[in-house]
Structures are given as C-alpha cells and as structure tokens.
Amino acid sequence: MSGFDILFFVFAGFALVSAMGVVVSPNPVYSALSLVLTLFSVAGLFLLLQAEFLAVVQVLTYAGAILVLFVFIIMLLNLSDFELMEVRMGNLGKALLTLAAVVAFITLAFVVHLTRITGDPAVEGFGDISTLGREIFTHYVIPFEIAGVLLTVSLIGAVMLAKKNLTKE
C-alpha cells in the first residue's frame, strides 16, 4: 500500500464518518459542521486526483459560503423548534426503517458497482488552472454563460423567497 492509498483511505474514512455525523447529530449546528468536514475530506480526495483548483474552490465556497449560510439559516429558525422534531416511533417502525435503509444501501452499492462511467477522458493537465480556463474559453463557452444566467436566477429567486417570508411576518 502506497502513501497515496493511505491518504485516500484517511480522507475517504473522514468523509464517511462526518457524513454520518450530518445525519445523526441532533444539533443542527453540529450537522452543518460535519458537512463542512465531509467537504474538506472530499477536497482532499480532489487533491489526490491532482485537481488542485477544484479542491481549493471546494474549501472556499463550502467552508466559507455554505457553512455561514447554513448557520444563518439555523439562526433564522428557532433552535427550540428543532428540539420538537424528535421522531416518535415504536420499535417495530424503527426496525423496519433500518431494514429499508440497509436494502437501499445495498441496492445503491450494486448500482454504483455495475455502472461503467463513460465519456471523454479528461484533458491533459485538467487540474491545472490555466488548462481549465482554456477549456472554458474554447469548448464550454455556452455552458459558462448559461451558468451565469443560472446564478443570477438563483440569486433573484432566493431573495424573493426570503422577502416573501419577511412580509408574512
């Protein structure tokens, strides 16, 4: 086992454990922080794939933007509301749910295992930022501009939704 493999397993392990934390943790702030830890680990995996730019952007947008956004959203809602959200359910229900989850997981694992990912191989030196810029300029101009439109639409949409809540109160 090379150093790469060890690092891969460390990052992947972290990602899985903290992803569990997102779901399991009763406190929403802890969930948000676990999510950030998951995304950090994924950034580590990107690094192992030599996609430095992606890794850094992952940390920049998710740690900076998404976590702060989530914390603000959690602060918008009252924390005592969350305490009321405990699931009330009998033992049989819990057992059935667990079974369903296990079945779903196994199915998913099979599907992932059987799927052959096809498509063009990545460009030489894909992780490098100038290669990425060149690709955006040449092959992916239209998707690039459409991404701009998409971002604007989501900005306006989010602000409108937020304002709807504001006027209701």
Partner 1 sequence: MEQLAITIHENYLWGAPLWAVNLIVMFGASAVVLMLFVAPFAGITSFVERRIAARIQDRIGPNRVGPQGILQFLADGIKSLMKEDLIPTDADKPLFILAPYLVFLGMFTTFVAIPFSSKLIVSDLNVGLLFIFATSAITAVGLVMAGWGSGSKWSMLGGMRAAAQIISYEIPTGLAALCVILLAGSLSLQTIIAGQGAYPWQWYLFNNPFNPLAFFILLASLVAEGNRAPFDLPEAESELVSGYNTEYSGMRFLFIFFAEWANLYIIGALVTVLFLGGWQIPVGVSEWAGGVASWFPQVLQFLTFFLKVLVFVFLIIQLRWTLPRVRMDQLMEICWKYLVPVAFVCVMGVALWMIIWPEGLPWMTYLLTAVAGLIVAYYCYRVIWQLRNTKATLEFNPFV
Partner 2 sequence: MLFNFANILVFVLVGGGFVGVSLFVSRLIQPRFPTLEKGLIYECGEIPVDNAWINYNLRYYLVAIIFVIFDVEIAFVYPVATVFKNWIAEGKGMIAFIEIMVFALILFVGLIYVWKKGDLNWFKEVVVTEDTRRTPEEATAL
Stretch that binds partner 2, among 15-23, 56-64, 87-95, 113-121 (CB under 8 A): 56-64
Stretch that binds partner 2, among 15-23, 44-52, 99-107, 108-116 (CB under 8 A): 44-52
125 φ, ψ (degrees, to nearest 5)? 70, 40
Question: Is 63 a binder of partner 1 (CB under 8 A)?
Answer: yes
Question: Is 69 a binder of partner 2 (CB under 8 A)?
Answer: yes
Stretch that binds partner 1, among 14-22, 50-58, 88-96, 141-149 (CB under 8 A): 50-58
Query: Of 4, 30, 5, 6, nearest to 18 (Cα)?
Result: 30
Shortest Å, Cβ 120 to partner 1: 24
Shortest Å, Cβ 57 to partner 2: 5
Q: Can you tell me the distance from the alpha carbon of 28 to that of 34, in angstroms, rounded to the nearest whole number?
A: 10
Q: Which residues of 137-166 are buried (b: 16+ CB within 10 A; e: fewer)?
A: eeeeeeeeeeeeeeeeeeeeeeeeeeeeee
